[in-house]
Structure 1
Amino acid sequence: MTRRLFIFGLGFSGLEIAKLARADGWTVAGTCTTEEKARRLREAGIEAHRFDGTAALSADAFGEPSHVVCTIAPGSEGDPALRTCRELLGQARWLGYLSTTGVYGDHEGGWVDETTTPLPTQPRSQQRLAAEQGWRALAAGAGASLHILRLPGIYGPGRSTLERVRAGTAQRIDKPGQVFSRIHVEDLAASAMKAAARETGTEIWNVADDLPASNADVIAYACELLGRPVPPVVPWEEAAPTMSAMARSFYSESRRVRNDKLKRELGVVLRYPTYREGLKAIAAAEG
């Protein structure tokens, strides 16, 4: 059976999924926003096509994939892949959509799972939920399987708390009861490929690690790994006025994300079950 994966958005997450799929013998292609990046990816052996969401891909570029993953964030005009490539997307037998655990909204530090009713409060999360509904409609009309992966904060090599600590910009903010869930990009990719192997119906997976934690705790551990002094805690009331609107929005919600279904039904074994294993591995790889 043909296994061709097309990835809308060969960015941080998309490239990790592509890497894992290619290692497992899949034919992989995908999109990026500029021709320059597409050229660099092609030179690295990855079939890449420019796509900025304003026009549909050609049928030749799409190439009749069996599986499709979309990592692109929607905007005020909706999901760009759905908006411009709906007819092409309906040809695949499995669709994967990378969404966000932000669709659950604020639970004041309480636990959420896949049965929790989405109540997004942030515009970007509301757009994600609308995109989920669009992918559901597409899959239903095409008779394709759809797997929605709801993701918390994604980190990995080159994109973690370690970079902020090294740069001296890490700020330990104390907002009582505030916690965040996370996932290492390698565990995200492994979960996506596990889902791709399960071509049945519509499923939602929370892809998160085992230990929700405050950013203050994560920064302290990153400092320990790097042998740097731990910055003092800054009260939320003092920090908030100096933060960007985007940063403040992240602190406006608090929830703990359950991953029981992911491990029980997909059989995912997290390589980095907490931020400690993940940051330790990144620090060791970077020397």
Structure 2
Amino acid sequence: MALEKLFIFGLGFSAQEVAKALLRQEPLAQIAATSRQERSLADDGLDRVAMHIFDGERPGATLMPDLTEATHLLISIAPNTQGDPVLNAHIDHILAAPKLEWIGYFSTIGVYGDADGDWIDEHFATQPTSDRLQWRLEAEAQWSDLAQKRGTPLAILRLAGIYGPGRSAFDKLRAGKAHRIVKKDQVFNRIFAPDIGAITLKAAQHRLSGLYNLCDLEPAPPQDVIAHAAGLLGIEAPPAIDFETADLSPMARSFYASNRRVSSARIRAALDYKLVAPTYREGLRAILEHENNRALHD
């Protein structure tokens, strides 16, 4: 199904992958998006995207014509103490958007909280462990209410830890900021950014509705990912550091408070989708190939 006009609130790392995926399929596709400040997208291959400033505090001054014409809407802005910035500024405009056929909302698997390392899916009861995650759940509910009032399909996409070119273990290793924190039996799911782009685009094209997890097939200990990346770079991995004695920020430490293995079977079945990176190994290998290809053409 053709996607006539996509509007993205928050053209960040993940949302850019959606725009790139759409432009690869439909080079003349119409895309508009917001950013907190002016930026150049030429180096990202997204110079055709019509950009608008939206600071999350007041309605975007220039975006209304593009928002009104949008057939598909993607929300990639996190809620805060004031609630969902997009809804606070533009709920009436979105409710009245005459051509809108589908809404996608990027959330996080963090809302599930702890599962003692067990496998879970979308039926697992949410138990947010921070205000930040509680705000996410409240935003999910608000978007669900809006979609119901409009009668518009809404896909809530709960993302695992995001990585891709420019944001991976390679970058941390090269910057000297990689740490192999070891906590017994701790694992994390991840999701490769190009998989986010491809899945979200397919969900939009099929006007998919419902709640879905986006994550890989092999939740893995974070220290293993760092070690594997170091091996691919041909360098020595940083030493293992015990979690209990590690010098971590409260935010970083909070990520280790929950241990779960999250399934993405539902979204893969709904869209008949095969992950580009079913594990971190394929993802890291693809990033390295991407970097090498860019180096050859620079």
Give the TM-score normalised by structure 1: 0.94
Name the residue aligned to 1:123. 131
Helix, strand or coil at the partner of 1:286: helix
Name the residue aligned to 1:261. 266
CA RMSD of aligned residues (A): 1.9
Name the residue aligned to 2:295. none
Q: 1:59 to 1:169 in 2, by over 3 A?
A: closer
2:283 to 271, 278, 284: 278
Deviates more, 1:40-49 or 1:59-68: 40-49
Letter in 2 for 1:105: G
Letter in 1 for 2:53: R
Letter in 1 for 2:153: S
Q: Which 4+ residue blocks in structure 1 deviate beyond 3 angstroms?
A: 36-43
Give 1:36 shift. Answer: 4.1
Deviates more, 1:44-53 or 1:130-139: 44-53
Name the residue aligned to 2:221. 214
Q: 1:149 to 1:229 in 2, by over 3 A?
A: same
Letter in 2 for 1:106: D
Please give the alpha-carbon distance, in whole angstroms, between the structure 1 residues aligned to 2:199 and 2:143.
19
Deviates more, 1:36-45 or 1:155-164: 36-45
Aligned residues: 284
Name the residue aligned to 1:81. 86
Helix, strand or coil at the partner of 2:11: coil
Name the residue aligned to 1:158. 166
Q: Conserved in 1, the CA contact under 8 Å of 2:187 and 2:222?
A: yes
Letter in 2 for 1:34: Q
Q: Conserved in 2, the CA contact under 8 Å of 1:32 and 1:38?
A: no
Q: 1:160 to 1:104 in 2, by over 3 A?
A: same
Name the residue aligned to 1:23. 24
**Aligned: 1:45 with 2:53:** no
Please give the alpha-carbon distance, in whole angstroms, between the structure 2 residues aligned to 1:133 and 1:232.
43
Counterpart mapping for 1:1-287 below 5 A? 3-25=4-26, 26-37=29-40, 44-57=47-60, 58-90=63-95, 91=97, 92-199=100-207, 202-239=209-246, 242-287=247-292
Please give the alpha-carbon distance, in whole angstroms, between the structure 2 residues aligned to 1:284 and 1:255.
30
Q: Conserved in 1, the CA contact under 8 Å of 2:35 and 2:53?
A: yes
Deviations along 1:233-279, whole A, 9 cap, x unmatched? 1111111xx21111011111111110111111111111111100110
Q: Conserved in 1, the CA contact under 8 Å of 2:19 and 2:46?
A: no
Give 1:89 shift. Answer: 1.8
Unaligned segments of structure 1, at least 5 residues: none
Please give the alpha-carbon distance, in whole angstroms, between the structure 2 residues aligned to 1:211 and 1:84.
39
Deviations along 1:104-145, whole A, 9 cap, x unmatched? 011121112111111111221111111100100100111111
Q: 1:37 to 1:130 in 2, by over 3 A?
A: farther
Please give the alpha-carbon distance, in whole angstroms, between the structure 1 residues aligned to 2:270 and 2:250.
38
Please give the alpha-carbon distance, in whole angstroms, between the structure 1 residues aligned to 2:232 and 2:190.
19
Give 1:173 shift. Answer: 1.2
Helix, strand or coil at the partner of 1:30: strand
Please give the alpha-carbon distance, in whole angstroms, between the structure 1 residues aligned to 2:48 and 2:90.
24
Please give the alpha-carbon distance, in whole angstroms, between the structure 2 residues aligned to 1:122 and 1:164.
26
- Identical aligned residues as a percent: 43
